[in-house]
Amino acid sequence: MSPVANPAEQNFGDYYRVLAETAEDHIFVIALDDTIEFVNTAAARQLGRTPAELVGRKRMDIFPPDVSERQGENLTQVFETGKPLYVEARTMYRGREVWLSTWLAPIADPNGGVKAVLGVSRDLTDRKRAEEELRNAQKLEALGRLAGGIAHDFNNNLTAILGYVDMMIDQVHPEEPIARDLGEVRRAAERSAGLVRRLLAFGRRQVLQPRSLDLQAIVAGVRPMLERLLGEHIRVDVKAGPDVQPVTADASELEQVIINLALNARDAMPSGGTLTITTENAVPTRDQQVPMGDGQFVVMRISDTGEGMSAHVRQHVFEPFFTTKPPGKGTGLGLSAVYGIVKQLNGFIWVDSEIGQGSAFHVYLPAAAEGVALETVEPDGRPVSVRGSHQAILLVEDEDTVRRFVRRALHSSGFRVLEAATPEDALAFAAAQEDISLLLTDVVMPRMSGPELAHRLQEMRPGLPVLYMSGYPSNLLLPGRAIPPSVRLLSKPFTMMQLIERVQEALGVRT
């Protein structure tokens, strides 16, 4: 009498088949002769095929040679050792870069050999991208701390260099050799200042003063500059969408984003082409590349008809110091600065590009709240007076070289200067001096910050105007590093003319 079959055992194979067919992991069996004996739906879908189209075919006929060779090495190891193997590898499927974790297990034959290999692969692409973003964020944070640490002292030095060089240039004839030499010194200082600004931008440590801005007006205002920078061989095309909402952004930093992206496009179009800037309201159902959440966004797309990027370049394009340019042709900070500015504005940026198909950078900026008045980005055109009216300015700066330069500049423009090296000295001056028209103070100082000093002085002298100077404002003093519109700030390094103009703006002195 034959034994009665266990129903559970009869259905066991069916259970496994249902499990394999419904699993999201890629499950496959490769025979010793490199033939595909089994592949589940998920694995076939990854290749754009059906299981029936793959079973019975040779593995080498399906995958590119480099992928097939790497797979073959792993399979050979399992066939020869009879031991399971775990591998993580990056590969290309249908032009898409994916990360797979794969367990390979031997399937034994009756003689104890290995007749096939069972593989289970899991797509780790999203996890790897998240890990890469975390590493980039950590690099960004480390670089930001480094840049912030040096920026304060470095910008103090550059302020003194630029200030004294300008004073010397004013005292010599433009045709004298020393004038040309001083011009070279000034240009070197300006390049150094630009480098620090880009480091701070990438590290999201720069000072921003967000306003409600008309993005289309910003683009229109910077267009003439772009046409000069890009040259006649590149056409600039601007396309504005209907009823584009205002954005919350810093006008000068937003202009820098546009310029940096345009210069990157210029380098990708050495033989000429078209740079297209479009603005429109973002559509959440269509714009799936960014986590917009519940907020409203405006998208600015800057695209070119240039050489395009490989997948490798796209992956690293926003990293600091990453560049495809030859040595001496770029710092690798232009796009990383763009990334930092956009992120600090609570926006998002991503790039769409293929080799030979050009590139398109998509910049998403938060829309301004309804009812917020737009800030004008154009100057009012009225000339600023370059002479003071003997108003007394209380100057507070702990860096000697900067303080001496600012004092000389203000004196030469007709202002009276009460010079204080410490906040304590400034409080003593204020207690003894009746007439003070303006507090001009550094932000970061020992024992007492500029904002703290301003608060104490304004308690003594209600309505006292304040103008801050800073090379790097402390995150503790200015949470979020976003300066309210009511705060006047002069960023270091600055020139003598910039100093006088900002002082007179604070005083309301106009001709």
pLDDT of residue 349: 87
Would you state the pLDDT for residue 286?
55
Ordered DSSP codes for 50-70 = -HHHHTTSBGGGTS-HHHHHH
Residue with tokens 């890990």: 131
> pLDDT band at residue 48, thresholds of 50, 70 and 90?
confident
pLDDT classification of 7: cutoffs 50, 70, 90: low
Residue 498: count of CB within 10 angstroms of its CB = 15
Q: Are residues 419 and 475 in the same domain?
A: yes
Find the domain containing 435 and state its range: 392-507
Mean pLDDT of all residues in 401-410:
91
Answer whether residue 135 is part of any domain. no
CA terminus-to-terminus distance, the chain:
117
Q: Give a yes or no: residue 132 inside a domain.
A: no
Domain final position from 63, 88, 123: 123
Q: Is residue 299 domain-shared with residue 434, that is, in the same domain? A: no
CA 67, distance to chain mean position in Å, is 34
Instruction: Name the least confident of 111-115, 281-285, 490-494.
Output: 281-285
**Phi and psi for 167 in degrees, rounded to 5?**
-60, -40
Same-domain pairing of 350 and 437: no
Residues 278, 349 within the same domain: yes
Percent above pLDDT 70 for the chain:
77
Give yes or no: residues 105 and 38 share one domain: yes
Domain membership of residue 377 (yes or no) is: no
The Cα–Cα gap between 338 and 472 comes to 19
Better-scored residue on pLDDT, 13 or 252: 252
- Domain final position from 321, 348, 366: 366
Q: List pLDDT tens digits, range 464-511.
A: 999 998 876 544 344 444 455 567 888 888 888 889 988 988 888 543
Best mean pLDDT range from 59-68, 115-124, 293-302, 389-398: 115-124
Q: Is 33 part of a structural domain of the chain? A: yes
Residues 91 and 223 in one domain: no
- Is 89 a domain residue? yes
Torsion-angle region of residue 167: left (phi > 0), alpha (psi -120 to 50) or beta? Answer: alpha
Same domain assignment for residues 226 and 361: yes
What CA–CA distance (Å, rounded) separates 336 from 265? Answer: 15
| CATH number of the domain where residue 277 is located | 3.30.565.10
Residue 377 has a pLDDT of: 44
Q: What is the pLDDT of residue 202?
A: 53
Residue 1 lies in a domain: no
CATH number for position 410: 3.40.50.2300
Q: Both 334 and 428 in a single domain? A: no
Choose the final residue of a domain: 97, 123, 149: 123
**In the chain, how many domains are there?**
3
Does 440 have pLDDT greater than 90? yes
Domain-located, residue 99: yes
Residues 326 and 425 in one domain: no
- CATH number of residue 47's parent domain: 3.30.450.20
Higher pLDDT, 224 or 293: 224
Residue 486 and residue 420 share a domain: yes
pLDDT, mean over the chain = 79
Asked if 406 and 481 sit in the same domain, the reply is yes
Whole-angstrom Cα distance, residue 345 to residue 362? 15
Residues 116 and 223 in one domain: no
Mean of pLDDT values over 128-147: 71
- Residue 129 covered by a domain: no
pLDDT, tens only, 158-217: 888 888 888 888 888 888 888 888 888 888 888 777 666 666 655 555 555 667 888 888
